[in-house]
Amino acid sequence: ERLARIDTVVFDKTGTLTSGEMRLIDQEDLAPEALAAAAALGAYSKHPHSQALTQFAPIDGARLSVTDVREEAGFGVEGQIDGRLYRLGRTDWSVFVQQDAPTTGTVLSCEGRILAVFRFEEQLRSGAVAAIDDLRASDVGIQILSGDSASAVAAVASSLSIADHASSLLPGEKVRRLEALAEQGHKVMMVGDGL
Q: How far apart are CA 96 and CA 167, in angstroms?
A: 22
- Phi/psi of residue 174, each to 5°? -65, -45
Q: Is residue 157 within 8 Å of residue 163, measured between CB atoms?
A: yes
8 A C-beta contact, residue 154 and residue 52: no
Could you confirm whether 133 is annotated as catalytic?
no
Helical segments of the chain, H only: 32-42, 48-53, 91-94, 128-137, 150-159, 171-183
Cα-to-chain-centroid distance, residue 18 = 11
Of these residues, 12, 68, 134, 139, which one is catalytic? Answer: 12
> Contact, 37 vs 86, CB < 8 A?
yes
Question: What positions carry a catalytic annotation?
Answer: 12
